[in-house]
């Protein structure tokens, strides 16, 4: 094989990703994310703006050991002062960073309107700031903001900005599609012109936003056109529609022949198997449920539902998969559904350690029950744990851990002494555990929360076992609206082993549906603790 060229991955989750609505990293979050990125093999980690905000200053002050180059982000110096007299630039250079990324205007309209200086003054700011960073012994790079729009408005000025940065000693000149509207073929054409104007591709980077859904495509077009540094964020977070998803980029560059035959990353085949864990670990830290449809790493990325696809898939996975899921640490999933045939069921049960022969009459009964229940609103492909419990009840046995005699929920809306509306929910659950009757009462932030608290308040000898059970997500869906509407509730649970499982409940009554899903969740947890269930969930 001919010598492959190195592509450098630059992650800006901690800087540009922080612009995402609802996301605000603490110093501890930033350290944890930087370690995850470093461990994975990302080349550059952009940490934020040291000197400009306290969290980022504290983050950069932490000593760290790792291979990734920690990169500080900030502005070029202001016009009219020398680089050494610009406090922002000085703080940036003084920070504990390996590299400094300076953002520079490259669209003449922005130079005039936002900075209020002349085009030549802007070029001088770029040159002097880059020189100051390089003189301090740090790797300098320049983000040419609005580069592609600037190029279209004034080609020669945009090129002059990039060239000035390169000639002043910037290791990387990063071309930014700041507004995210540029198309892949434009990216390729413009980068070809930049390279023809004298900046080698080995010194160029791409920073793409996803406003037309093409941030990854634009980044790949840029690689093909010659750039050697690619910027992105974990799971594509970022303001508006997000940045290029660095997870998708890493997988595509590493696994697709048209890229991996020519380029290599700082991540080997073994490292790439951490990809799914990295994506989910990041969502975990953000306390949000992972998107099941993310390329490569989503729970549905290698899932199939249709019967004929599933049986072909079992014969030869390549028939319906573009890559082997194990290469990115994901797993193939053939889902239980009303379209699935018998072989589907047997395989799904096998994955859970439940062995049943093809002509066992209990299997036919289970299939009938699943189909009936799915017709009445249950969705087992989204509720793995409830499916497993149902199968175990039909084929094996689920111990009677406890018995619920009855429950009652009351919701009261009243005014407090200041005349403000207050809503109070209270639940009473009557249980029987080991022939002992237990009655628990609890208040909650809503009827379901009160019910959950009451159910789990006193489970007798099982109480310690469910101490680490937490509800991570709760989804309600109203099926076939109108007066006969049915409610489906899906609950996601998690415990200290980091295992997640979904349970389902269906009823005309939302509280009853929630209660079914809660009961399944607790029972599944007790089964899992005894290693009687949860094999597939722990994979
Ligand atoms: Zn950006």
Instruction: Answer yes or no: do 226 and 155 share one domain.
Output: yes
Taking the centre of ligand 1 as the mean of its atom positions, its distance from the CA of residue 255, in whole angstroms, is 26
| Domain's final residue, options 345, 366, 394 | 394
CA of 243 to the centre of ligand 1 (A): 7
Q: Is residue 416 part of a domain?
A: yes
Q: Kindly give the distance from the C-alpha atom of residue 304 to the centroid of ligand 1, in angstroms, as a whole number.
A: 35
Residues 376 and 408 grouped into a single domain: no
Ligand 1 center–CA 214 separation, angstroms: 14
The answer to whether residue 108 sits within a structural domain is yes
Report the separation in Å between the CA atom of 208 and the middle of ligand 1, taken as the mean of its atom positions. Answer: 7
In a domain, 283, yes or no: no
Q: Do 425 and 379 share a domain, yes or no?
A: no
Nearest to 73 by CA among 55, 58, 89: 89
Q: Are residues 104 and 159 in the same domain?
A: yes
Residue 16 Cα, ligand 1 centroid: separation in angstroms? 6
Q: Residue 379's pLDDT is what? A: 82
Domain match, 312 and 212 both: no
- Does 390 share its domain with 416? no
3-class DSSP assignment, residue 492:
strand
Taking the centre of ligand 1 as the mean of its atom positions, its distance from the CA of residue 10, in whole angstroms, is 12
What separation in Å is there between the alpha carbon of 280 and the centre of ligand 1? Answer: 23
Q: Is residue 276 part of a domain?
A: no
**Is position 240 within any domain?**
yes
Last residue of a domain, one of 371, 394, 417: 394
The pLDDT score that the predictor gives to residue 336 is: 55
Average pLDDT along the chain, 539 residues, taken 10 residues at a time: 88 96 90 94 96 91 87 95 94 95 96 93 97 97 98 98 98 98 98 98 98 98 98 98 98 97 95 94 82 94 72 72 94 62 80 86 89 85 89 86 94 87 92 92 93 93 93 84 78 90 93 95 94 77
Do 363 and 428 have their domain in common?
no
- How far is the centre of ligand 1, averaged over its atoms, from the C-alpha of 466 (Å)? 44
Q: What stretch of H or E contains 130?
A: helix 119-135
Cα of 131 vs centre of ligand 1, distance in Å, is 24
Assess whether 256 and 341 both reside in one domain: no
One domain, residues 213 and 358: no
What is the predicted pLDDT for the residue at 305? 67
Domain boundary among 368, 394, 420: 394
Classify residue 139: in a domain, yes or no. yes
Q: Which residues contact 257 (CB under 8 A, 6 or more apart)?
A: none
| pLDDT for res 309 | 65
Q: Ligand 1 centroid to 138 CA: how many Å?
A: 22
Give backbone dihedrals phi and psi of 231, rounded to 5 degrees, phi first: -105, 145
Gap from CA of 13 to ligand 1 centroid (Å): 10
Residues 6+ apart with CB under 8 A from 281: 36
Tell me the residue length of the chain: 539
Q: What is the pLDDT of residue 224?
A: 97
Contact indicator for 475, 461 with CB cutoff of 8 Å: no
Residue 127 C-alpha to ligand 1 middle, in angstroms? 22
Residue 244 alpha carbon to ligand 1 centre in Å: 9
Hey, what are 174's tokens?
């990063």
Domain at 451, CATH number: 3.30.160
Please report the pLDDT score of residue 338 as a whole number.
Answer: 45
Q: Is residue 467 part of a domain?
A: no
246 CA to centre of ligand 1 in angstroms: 13
Rounded Cα distance between 170 and 192, Å, is 19
pTM value is 0.73
**How far, in Å, CA of 133 to CA of 78, rounded?**
15
Is there a single domain that holds both residue 152 and residue 213?
yes
Tally the domains of the chain.
3
Same domain, 406 and 320: no
Cα 267 to middle of ligand 1, angstroms = 24
Residues 156 and 14 occupy one common structural domain: yes
Residue 471 lies in a domain: no
Burial 345-355 (b: 16+ CB within 10 A, else e): bbbbbebbebe
Q: Find the domain containing 383 and state its range.
A: 308-394
- Quote the Cα angle for 250-256-261, to 5°: 100
* CATH at residue 144: 3.20.20.70
Distance between Cα 35 and ligand 1 center (Å): 22
């Amino acid at each position: 094989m001919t010598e492959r060229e190195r592509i450098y991955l630059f992650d800006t989750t901690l800087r540009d990703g922080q612009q995402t609505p609802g996301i605000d990293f603490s110093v501890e979050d930033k350290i944890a994310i930087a370690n995850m990125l470093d461990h994975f093999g990302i080349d550059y980690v952009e940490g934020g703006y040291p000197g400009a905000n306290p969290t980022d200053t504290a983050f950069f002050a932490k000593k760290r050991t790792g291979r990734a180059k920690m990169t500080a982000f900030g502005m070029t110096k202001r016009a009219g002062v020398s680089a050494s007299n610009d406090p922002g630039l000085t703080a940036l250079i003084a920070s504990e960073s390996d590299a400094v990324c300076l953002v520079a205007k490259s669209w003449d309209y922005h130079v005039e309107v936002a900075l209020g200086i002349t085009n030549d003054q802007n070029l001088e700011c770029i040159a002097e700031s880059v020189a100051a960073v390089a003189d301090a012994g740090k790797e300098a790079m320049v983000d040419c903001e609005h580069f592609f729009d600037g190029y279209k408005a004034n080609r020669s000025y945009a090129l002059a900005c990039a060239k000035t940065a390169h000639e002043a000693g910037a290791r990387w000149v990063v071309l930014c599609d700041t507004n995210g509207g540029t198309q892949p073929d434009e990216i390729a054409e413009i980068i070809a012109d930049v390279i023809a104007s004298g900046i080698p591709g080995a010194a160029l980077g791409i920073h793409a936003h996803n406003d037309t859904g093409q941030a990854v495509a634009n980044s790949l077009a840029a690689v093909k056109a010659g750039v050697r540094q690619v910027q992105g964020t974990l799971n594509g977070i970022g303001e508006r529609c997000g940045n290029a998803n660095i997870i998708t980029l890493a997988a595509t560059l590493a696994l697709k022949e048209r890229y991996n035959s020519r380029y290599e990353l700082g991540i080997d085949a073994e490292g790439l198997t951490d990809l799914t864990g990295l994506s989910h670990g990041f969502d975990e830290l953000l306390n949000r449920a992972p998107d099941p449809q993310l390329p490569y790493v989503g729970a549905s990325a290698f899932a199939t539902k249709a019967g004929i696809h599933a049986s072909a898939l079992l014969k030869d996975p390549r028939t319906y998969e573009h890559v082997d899921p194990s290469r990115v640490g994901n797993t193939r999933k053939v889902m239980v559904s009303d379209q699935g045939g018998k072989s589907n069921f047997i395989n799904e049960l096998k994955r859970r350690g439940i062995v049943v022969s093809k002509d066992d009459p209990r299997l036919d009964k289970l299939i009938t029950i699943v189909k009936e229940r799915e017709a009445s609103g249950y969705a087992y492909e989204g509720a793995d744990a409830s499916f497993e419990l149902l199968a175990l009840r039909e084929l094996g046995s689920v111990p009677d851990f406890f018995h619920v005699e009855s429950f009652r929920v009351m919701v009261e809306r009243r005014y407090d002494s200041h005349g403000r509306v207050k809503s109070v929910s209270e639940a009473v659950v009557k249980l029987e555990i080991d022939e002992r009757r237990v009655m628990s009462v609890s208040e909650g932030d809503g009827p379901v929360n009160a019910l959950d608290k009451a159910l789990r308040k006193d489970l007798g000898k099982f109480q310690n076992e469910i101490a680490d059970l937490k509800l991570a997500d709760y989804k309600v869906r109203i099926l076939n609206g109108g007066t006969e509407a049915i409610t489906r509730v899906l609950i996601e649970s998690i415990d200290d082993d980091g295992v997640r499982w979904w349970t389902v409940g269906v009823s005309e009554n939302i509280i009853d549906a929630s209660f079914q899903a809660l009961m399944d969740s607790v029972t599944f947890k007790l089964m899992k603790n005894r290693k009687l269930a949860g094999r597939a969930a722990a994979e």
